[in-house]
Structure 1
Amino acid sequence: MKHLSTRTQRTLHLLAASAAFGPLLVLGLAGTASAQSSPQAAPAERVEVTGSRIRSLSAESPSPLQVISSDDIAKSGAVNIQDLLLKNPIAASPAISRTNSNFSTASAGVATVNLRNLGESRTLVLINGKRTVAGVPGSSAVDLNNIPTEFIERVEILTGGASSLYGSDAVAGVVNIVFKRSFEGVAADLQVGQSEEGDDRKKKFSLTFGTTGNNGKTSLMGHLAVSEQGAVYSRDRAPSAVDQFSVGARGDATARRPQDLFTAQRPFFSSFVPQGYFFTDSYNGTNAFTYNRAGQVVREDTNGTRGEATGFNRSEFRTIALPIKRALFAAKAEHEFAPSHSVYLDGSYAQSRSSTELEPYPLGSDDILPASGGQVPAGALVGGVLVRNPLVPDHIWNDISDTDGDGIPDYYFTRRMSEVGNRGNRAERDNFRFVTGVKGDFGASLAYEAFVGYGVTKESQTSGGQVNVLNFRYALDALPDTNDIDGDGNRTEAICRDANARAQGCVPINVFGRGAVSPAALNYVQAPGSLSTSTSQRVAGLSISGEAFTLPAGAVGYAAGVEYRKENSRSEFDALQQSGLNAGNAIPATRGSFDVSEVFFETRLPLLKNLPFVKQLTGVLAARGSDYSTVGNTTSWNAGLEWAVNSDVKVRLSRTQSTRAPNINELFAPPSQTFPAGLTDPCVGVTATSTGVTAERCRAAPGVNANIAANGSFRATQADLQGISGFDRGNPALQEEKGRSFTAGIVFTPSGVPALRNLSVTLDYFKIDISDAITATPRQFILTQCYSGDASFCRLVTRRANAVGPNSAGSISFLDSQDSNGGGEGVEGLDLTASYSLLLGPGRLSTRLAYTWMKEGYEIPAIGAARDKFAGEIGTPEHKFAFDLGYEFGNFSIRSTTTYIGKSAVDDQFLASNFAPRGRVPAGSVTVPAKAYLDLQFGYRVTKQWQLYAGIDNATGTKAPLIPSGVPSSVTGTETDAGTYDAIGRRYYLGLRASF
């Protein structure tokens, strides 16, 4: 139906929906009339549980479901629900959290969830079963900072595809956050805490209140919460206090062993220093100067060795955990305007503030004058006479040679712009959401709901630490004002040579030495940045649920409905950032929108009951048709079988096809500059006599040959590895991706055995395969394919023909990537959950275990590429579990949570690229050890209204494994995978709860 107008397509959908609903509605009303003809007791309340849109008397889900209760949340001490979700073994490392986003130019401090390591875009987050607006512009990722933790009744985590029930994005699963339905009275919660190092301070206060009136027909409730989590700096933790780099990941020709990946060269200081580093003969280090701490000129040795005077410790300025402030308000109101019919309103407003901080900008003269390879004129030809820039000191001027033969001596420099200050951003995000609707029941066999909703997330960000490269260029070009051109009477000062620049306030800049930049020059060259984003969502839906007719094995349940959704997103940096003129990445504005009309149907068919070994056998069918303004028509479906062998054993099977339409960023993002890290150049070590495909393709680049001729083998310096840039871009031609999943599970609840009456065990097998996956081809894969596989990938690789600035001839200058439907992803494994409680001694003991065995996990980066397995690698361990143990007696309670993260391996693709020239390293052979974290909470109920509690997170002080910079998964500034492991350490908190 792509050739039809959007309005026409929606009309057809609504007609189709009406055709489907008509007979069902008649059957439902007929059932209602029959039921009303004879008085009977009020029916038990029917509820909707995640995994089915059919309301039923049972609160059990037909799909694998894990539940986090409000009691679990309270006994975790969590400020943000993300902290608790990360302990669940089916949740992998999130793309964004407060411990892994310090270097993000946007969305730093946002909290997301990633099920099965299939990505936030394939994890659908719902609130009360309905979609909510994204917190990351251009995506579907919800910011969990906007969720009021104490307002949550429970969190239901559905694993496996569920697009037929909830629409696009539910490929890996669904996280449904269910708010409290009603509340009577007032409850308050106050909590303070900090780490044993005295940082990571947190404060939290919440107030929940509610009332019911009009004989129970009207209910009102509200919630207010404020919280603050303090920063943790890299300098305050021994593993990350000093710059370091993995010895095994060094991109040079020295002998390395795989185990050296976890051996760090420490310190590994940056050569960009506040006092500057100056070259008078390109960047070869033979004619180089700097300044020592006393401000004295120091000439560099000819081998370019960096000494104490030239090293800069970036870790002194970096952050492990961002400071976050949150203020939230949520409210619910419901009024029964007629028996069994009510109108409702849910609304929330959330404001969060976060800030990042990292070291001052490392500026090179090639950032300012890229066209000339970084050559800075030390003077100018005025009337054919060479006039010296008076700010260039004698020791530079006397050593300069005219390298390009234009008659003007040139120099080069690198410098840490400490006068501009630390880089970082301050972001304020506002999230507003409301849903209003009407719902009701016509007897016990038909329910309906109609709703509309709107949500918007806005971000306003300011940033500092950058410079205006155009102004900097003018400020470097200075002449003595011997003729008093500016008319201030001073003939000994330096002025900017360009008259237009002078008119706009240009002040000459002195880059020679620590603190040499004057306040006036600083004011001219610094470039504060800004970012403005807006993401909005409009939704509407109409659904019915009921029982159509009765079969011998029971009533046939159904749910059907139509839904409409429109998404808009805009993300716009300041003009300098968009054009890359602030010495940073060029990030153009991204704007886009799409809408979708959908119709869905679900039915539960009771097939057999009360037979030998068959207490109940039920079939489940669901389907959803969607029409997108971007990709056209898509179809999702689900088929399942539930078999209750007896009262103790149930078996469930399901097969689904889920779809995910591309989001706004994937479709419409313009080329955005990035500077990828952790890449290994396959050409390193290649000589003029090396044989093989890699050597031949490397030597096909003139710059590589020049590098080999100069060094004997191809060499990539630290500057080369840090100087790789590239552009990421969206693709309007993208189509939807499809996920096929299969689950098979068994539920064991031995109610017939008194001693095991409170035992519940579930075991579920899962397998998800995603085809036509939307992916940005990994850059390391591009390099590997270019030089040892498919040579067509070489079109994305650009190498320097000659040495430019500090970068060697033949080094990679640009490595691009674009979204496409060429990938694939998949996971396979087992989930085990078990819970048990019993009376023991003077109190009750309760236990719960959630364990996941990730048997297989893979991604396919491009069509025809081999599977890149990630199961068992850092961030996605093969084995992970969370074990809760609690005991309550009298007014006392104690609870412990043990989170286990199994032994994990370094990315096998990185090993293959880094060590293949020295012999194959088997995948999984280089690992970090397993880690276990113990959290404790103690509670004492002083009176019926007052309760004291205290807790210790990471009570055993378990250290995060050292994953030095240069190794995949290392989060810059933390020297570990801070999204997976705890890089903060032991933390304490104390709280008080009151209810009236």
Structure 2
Amino acid sequence: MMKETVLARSVRMICVGGVALSMQAAFAQEAPQAIQKVQVTGSRLLSPNADSATPLQILSSADIAASGATNLQELLQKNPTMGTPTLSRNNSNFLTSGGGVTTVNLRNLGDERTLVLVNGRRFVSGVPGSSAVDLNTIPTDFIERVELLTGGASATYGSDAVAGVVNIILKRNFNGVAFDAQTGRSSEGDDFKKKLSLTFGTSSADGASNVMGHLGYSKQGAVFSRDRAASAVDQFTSVEDGDPSGVFKPTRPFYSSYIPAGTFFHDTGKFTYDAAGNVIPVDTNGAKGAPTGFNRSAYRTIAVPTERFLIATTGNHTFNDNVSAYFEGNFASTKTRTATEPFALKSGDIYKATGGQVPAEMLIGGQKGAIMRNPLVPQYLFDRITDNDGDGLRDYSFTRRMSEVGLRTSGAERDTFRIATGLKGTVKDWNYDTYIVYGKTKESQGSTGQVNVLNFRNALEAVTDVNDDNHNNSTTDVICADANARALGCVPANIFGAGKISPEALKYIIAPSSLETAVTQKLAGGSISGEIFDLPAGKVGLAVGFEWREETSSSVADPLTQAGLNAGNAIPPTVGSFHVREFFAETRVPLLKDQPFAKSLAFTGAFRNGKYSTVGVTNSWNAGLEWSPVSDIKFRGTRALSTRAPNISELYQPPSQTFPNDLTDPCDGLKLTSVGAAADACRSNPYVLANMKSNGGTFTLSQADQQGISGYDRGNAGLKAEKGRSTTLGVVITPRSIPMLSKFTFTADYFNIKIADAIVTTPRTVTLTQCYGGSNTSLCKLITRRTSTSGDTNIGAITYIDASSENNGGRGTEGVDMTLSWSDKVGPGRLSANVAYTYLKDFYDIPLKGVPEDSGTGEVGFARNKAVINLAYKWGAWGVTSTTSYTGPSALDDQWLAGNHLPAGSVKVGSKTYNDFQFTYAANKSVELYLGINNAFDAKAPPIITGISGNTTGAETNASVYDPIGRRYYLGVRGTL
């Protein structure tokens, strides 16, 4: 890695590396100093400068400080090369696991295709079954810089670097004590945060040894949906007859039909209860005089509260001029807590075999026994029901919000431990580095708000204790019908009305759940580099090395959750492992030097061979040219083949239940007389046709059907490695020979990355559009429709859409990155400016071979134009920095639009600009005060509401792309002791 670590030289890094977003570092720019041989991300070769043949962006520790970021993701997401993260505080509240985890996604090619390194070595994953690193585990105040290599780099670093590399360089050789304390909140009075950190280091008297340590604590509070006007109440968008005007004119409120009082279905209708406990019939216009629904948004969370304890340490000892030892240690303890509304239960969750029919009468004592009615079933209902499931006994069905059980919450405690140690030095003129690394992430998650389906079934089947079976000298008690259940503590549950379930019954039916996960990484490797012979233009550099890695992962839920017997998602265990050994070589060949039109010309190349226990042999390579016709201009280009082996979840995940919230049945609203391929395909399904005929010629769904689609995701042990081919072409202009422009740096880089045989899970929206009116009707086998009615549900309604991992897709992106940096004295102080801009020419997914490309270009999350502008001014003790982030106008997902009979690009979201400021005051040479404002003008996130593809549950926008929280303030003090 680069040996220059003084912040004052970070601007020099910009010039030679080709790109940066550094602001603060420019304030203290010093006169150029002699540069030693250094190493940068993307190469294992030492070079007399920090040039990179592949586009490289650098964020310094000063950038992190100027952002006020508690978590590194907060800063990285402003970089226009970054796509939407799979996991963040703002998009993970509704997940069964991973709440509060923060990951990165270069080029929108996927977290799994972005390799995160620490000091050039892999870091253990924070997500079971995945390679994604949780940035919560990296202390921001212990980072020297972050190097973003935005191109394929598998030949240098191995699998997962298809999109590029995020290399986090930790501080080193620090002496003294540094501190940072910060507190803040949003303008709405929430999103509280506090941060405390202490960094310390000391060196031996002879300078041969240095040890550093870091202690950090941070806490970020929750933001609730109810506390933002845009998300305070449930809403839903549906588009009828291809009319785009309804997209941003949602039904509001659109409350859930699952209410605490319950809705009960009999042979001729349904009813509920009012607040006084009176029976209220329900017709097509809703309940007369009763609540019209349940507002789920009153209980949902936009930002997951996160608390972190961090310990980091590094050290090195030089034995002599040729040998030194080093170590790195990290420990992170992260606590998060997600919260959502009480569980929505339907009788079908408990009585699946009978289509959701709950017995109101029971046969006690076998075939010759007596028929006894459930005394908890009200007479009003009992008089209106008959036998619906063929057993000769009366039965009914219901839906109910389980408010007595309480909120569904999930508290997770994640501990990440990592240690790396090695030896490095020189043998004659060759440099070597050997290392071993061990890392482990463990998570213990406890959840509330679910019910034990088996116990609940026993509690619903109640009879009068005419024989005094409970031996309390009473024959009028209500008891559970099953004697074995009574022996195990069964208490009858009265579900008829809000708050009717007794505490004793609750104790019997509630089912706290748990999840235990672990990810272990073992790594050993070594490399040697040097110069093998001279050419007229210079020495030929060579690096060779090896790496061995083993990864194991397990994710095991409690037995009830595994079986789906807590009325929630069925989540079976995912357990697996793999190992790989790899050999690599890299070279740099100087071709010309100090020639006309060739100040320098060099070739770079790398090759890596890997052998995986899962997919066999993989090969990666890259080749590049660097050409400087004159000192102030450099052209660079690379061509690379990168590989990615499937991760453990993609290989071994058993069928796991999910409940997608952005699906629209293509048949919804179609008529017997509707024309078109979709209408024909829908009518070809006998159950859809039966629905149309029974609903006056129109396919009709209830609200419960619209909100209740489920499905199963599964892995595939037969997966192969995917291949990514990338091309980059660029220019770096540093006109140092022109005095007026000597402070100016400009870069422009074209990128083109194409992934073949991509491991994909075909999106359910694609499955729907291809099945109904598309060209690949084989996907229809993944869709299950209801074959018989159950309560208020309709025949033909979609119940399941399944998906699995396959090597049957593709993904690609193409565009241009441009950066500009400038810094000079202006007036009494120093002004610096940096701009990073990305133009997205093309982005596409191929969700299935034989299916046309699904273009994401210009859609939400894939804006054609993204930029960040950093300005800073420093005079005396005072300083101010500003960051302006711009996301261009975007359209809604074309697949969702097609499913709603709308053309691609017909519904757009306007551009969005966010402005952040930080003001600093140096009280003395050791202490600096700072005040920051993020989203200073309180820019509102665009409405991407429930029902629209890309919606983040609870936020009513896409919280991975736009800020759902609003203006935030923070105040802090930092310095040295």
- In structure 2, the residue corresponding to 1:706 is in which secondary structure? helix
Whether 2:853 is the aligned partner of 1:874: answer: no
Tell me how far apart the structure 1 counterparts of residues 316 and 745 of structure 2 sit (CA, whole Å): 35
Which residue of the partner structure matches residue 81 of structure 2?
Answer: 90
Q: How does 1:644-683 map to 2 (within 5 A)?
A: 644-683=628-667
Tell me how far apart the structure 2 counterparts of residues 527 and 348 of structure 1 sit (CA, whole Å): 36
Whether 2:821 is the aligned partner of 1:839: answer: no
The Cα shift of 1:692 comes to 4.8
CA contact (8 A) 1:697 1:787 kept: yes
- In structure 1, the gaps of 5 or more residues are 1-41, 249-253, 916-920
Which residue of the partner structure matches residue 612 of structure 2?
Answer: 628
Aligned length: 940
Whether 2:865 is the aligned partner of 1:899: answer: no
Q: 1:964 aligns with which of 936, 942, 945?
A: 945
The Cα shift of 1:302 comes to 4.9
- In structure 1, the residue corresponding to 2:339 is in which secondary structure? coil
Which residue of the partner structure matches residue 350 of structure 1?
Answer: 332
The Cα shift of 1:44 comes to 6.1
Tell me how far apart the structure 1 counterparts of residues 68 and 682 of structure 2 sit (CA, whole Å): 55
The Cα shift of 1:405 comes to 5.3
Which residue of the partner structure matches residue 346 of structure 2?
Answer: 364
Which residue of the partner structure matches residue 70 of structure 2?
Answer: 79
Q: 2:221 aligns with which of 214, 230, 253?
A: 230
Whether 2:745 is the aligned partner of 1:785: answer: no
Q: CA-to-partner distance for each residue in 1:113-148, whole Å, 9 max, x for gaps?
A: 001110000000000000011000000000000001
- In structure 2, the residue corresponding to 1:75 is in which secondary structure? helix
In the superposition, relative to structure 1, how do residues 508 and 900 fare at CA in structure 2: closer, same or farther (>3 Å)? same
Which residue of the partner structure matches residue 792 of structure 2?
Answer: 806
Q: 1:332 aligns with which of 277, 291, 314?
A: 314
Tell me how far apart the structure 2 counterparts of residues 384 and 184 of structure 1 sit (CA, whole Å): 85
Tell me how far apart the structure 1 counterparts of residues 668 and 299 of structure 2 sit (CA, whole Å): 32
Whether 2:889 is the aligned partner of 1:908: answer: no
Which residue of the partner structure matches residue 765 of structure 1?
Answer: 750
In the superposition, relative to structure 1, how do residues 725 and 612 fare at CA in structure 2: closer, same or farther (>3 Å)? same
Which residue of the partner structure matches residue 166 of structure 1?
Answer: 157
CA contact (8 A) 1:169 1:661 kept: yes
Q: How does 1:286-435 map to 2 (within 5 A)?
A: 286-302=268-284, 304=286, 309-382=291-364, 383=368, 385-404=370-389, 406-435=391-420
Q: 1:924 aligns with which of 905, 913, 927?
A: 905
Whether 2:123 is the aligned partner of 1:142: answer: no
Q: Indicate the larger mover: 985-994 or 384-393.
A: 384-393
In the superposition, relative to structure 1, how do residues 873 and 305 fare at CA in structure 2: closer, same or farther (>3 Å)? farther
CA contact (8 A) 2:281 2:288 kept: no
Q: How does 1:729-740 map to 2 (within 5 A)?
A: 729-740=714-725
Whether 2:191 is the aligned partner of 1:200: answer: yes
Whether 2:104 is the aligned partner of 1:113: answer: yes
Whether 2:595 is the aligned partner of 1:611: answer: yes
In the superposition, relative to structure 1, how do residues 309 and 161 fare at CA in structure 2: closer, same or farther (>3 Å)? same
Which residue of the partner structure matches residue 507 of structure 1?
Answer: 491
Aligned residue type for 2:299: F
Tell me how far apart the structure 1 counterparts of residues 78 and 536 of structure 2 sit (CA, whole Å): 45
CA contact (8 A) 1:728 1:816 kept: yes
In the superposition, relative to structure 1, how do residues 823 and 848 fare at CA in structure 2: closer, same or farther (>3 Å)? same
The Cα shift of 1:888 comes to 0.1
CA contact (8 A) 1:247 1:263 kept: no
Aligned residue type for 1:210: G
Tell me how far apart the structure 2 counterparts of residues 551 and 262 of structure 1 sit (CA, whole Å): 66
The Cα shift of 1:221 comes to 0.5
**Aligned residues: percent identity?**
56
Q: CA-to-partner distance for each residue in 1:363-403, whole Å, 9 max, x for gaps?
A: 01111101111111112234554322111122222222333
Q: CA-to-partner distance for each residue in 1:762-784, whole Å, 9 max, x for gaps?
A: 00000000000000111111122
The Cα shift of 1:508 comes to 0.5
Give the CA RMSD over aligned residues. Answer: 1.5
The Cα shift of 1:192 comes to 0.3
In the superposition, relative to structure 1, how do residues 397 and 308 fare at CA in structure 2: closer, same or farther (>3 Å)? closer
Aligned residue type for 2:847: P
- In structure 2, the gaps of 5 or more residues are 1-32
Q: Indicate the larger mover: 807-816 or 678-687.
A: 678-687
Tell me how far apart the structure 2 counterparts of residues 381 and 531 of structure 1 sit (CA, whole Å): 39
With normalisation by structure 2, the TM-score equals: 0.95
Q: Indicate the larger mover: 743-752 or 387-396.
A: 387-396
In the superposition, relative to structure 1, how do residues 181 and 401 fare at CA in structure 2: closer, same or farther (>3 Å)? same
Tell me how far apart the structure 1 counterparts of residues 159 and 311 of structure 2 sit (CA, whole Å): 29
Aligned residue type for 2:117: L
Tell me how far apart the structure 1 counterparts of residues 931 and 796 of structure 2 sit (CA, whole Å): 59
Whether 2:717 is the aligned partner of 1:720: answer: no
In the superposition, relative to structure 1, how do residues 557 and 689 fare at CA in structure 2: closer, same or farther (>3 Å)? same
Q: 1:749 aligns with which of 714, 725, 734?
A: 734
Q: CA-to-partner distance for each residue in 1:611-668, whole Å, 9 max, x for gaps?
A: 1111000001110000000000000000100001111100001100000000000001
Which residue of the partner structure matches residue 273 of structure 1?
Answer: 259
Tell me how far apart the structure 2 counterparts of residues 375 and 938 of structure 1 sit (CA, whole Å): 65
Tell me how far apart the structure 1 counterparts of residues 820 and 848 of structure 2 sit (CA, whole Å): 39
The Cα shift of 1:542 comes to 1.1
Q: How does 1:2-17 map to 2 (within 5 A)?
A: none
CA contact (8 A) 2:650 2:716 kept: yes
CA contact (8 A) 2:272 2:287 kept: no
Q: How does 1:16-55 map to 2 (within 5 A)?
A: 45-55=36-46
Tell me how far apart the structure 2 counterparts of residues 377 and 217 of structure 1 sit (CA, whole Å): 80
The Cα shift of 1:55 comes to 1.3
- In structure 2, the residue corresponding to 1:246 is in which secondary structure? coil
Tell me how far apart the structure 2 counterparts of residues 490 and 542 of structure 1 sit (CA, whole Å): 80
CA contact (8 A) 1:481 1:493 kept: yes
Q: Indicate the larger mover: 375-384 or 657-666.
A: 375-384
Which residue of the partner structure matches residue 67 of structure 1?
Answer: 58
The Cα shift of 1:689 comes to 4.4
Tell me how far apart the structure 2 counterparts of residues 816 and 928 of structure 1 sit (CA, whole Å): 30
With normalisation by structure 1, the TM-score equals: 0.93
CA contact (8 A) 1:168 1:660 kept: yes
Q: 2:916 aligns with which of 935, 954, 961?
A: 935
CA contact (8 A) 1:277 1:310 kept: no
Tell me how far apart the structure 1 counterparts of residues 288 and 897 of structure 2 sit (CA, whole Å): 29
CA contact (8 A) 1:702 1:801 kept: no
Aligned residue type for 2:803: S
In the superposition, relative to structure 1, how do residues 680 and 302 fare at CA in structure 2: closer, same or farther (>3 Å)? closer
Which residue of the partner structure matches residue 973 of structure 2?
Answer: 992
CA contact (8 A) 2:357 2:389 kept: no
Tell me how far apart the structure 2 counterparts of residues 693 and 656 of structure 1 sit (CA, whole Å): 42
Tell me how far apart the structure 1 counterparts of residues 288 and 98 of structure 2 sit (CA, whole Å): 36
The Cα shift of 1:545 comes to 1.0
Q: How does 1:127-138 map to 2 (within 5 A)?
A: 127-138=118-129
Tell me how far apart the structure 2 counterparts of residues 43 and 401 of structure 1 sit (CA, whole Å): 92
CA contact (8 A) 1:458 1:533 kept: yes
In the superposition, relative to structure 1, how do residues 175 and 306 fare at CA in structure 2: closer, same or farther (>3 Å)? farther
Which residue of the partner structure matches residue 811 of structure 2?
Answer: 825
Aligned residue type for 1:728: D
The Cα shift of 1:693 comes to 4.2
Whether 2:761 is the aligned partner of 1:776: answer: yes
CA contact (8 A) 1:723 1:807 kept: no
CA contact (8 A) 1:480 1:492 kept: yes
- In structure 2, the residue corresponding to 1:645 is in which secondary structure? strand
Tell me how far apart the structure 2 counterparts of residues 840 and 440 of structure 1 sit (CA, whole Å): 45
CA contact (8 A) 2:275 2:290 kept: no
CA contact (8 A) 1:455 1:538 kept: yes
- In structure 1, the residue corresponding to 2:583 is in which secondary structure? strand
Q: CA-to-partner distance for each residue in 1:273-316, whole Å, 9 max, x for gaps?
A: 111111112xxxx5211112233221112555687514100000
CA contact (8 A) 2:265 2:792 kept: no
Which residue of the partner structure matches residue 460 of structure 2?
Answer: 476
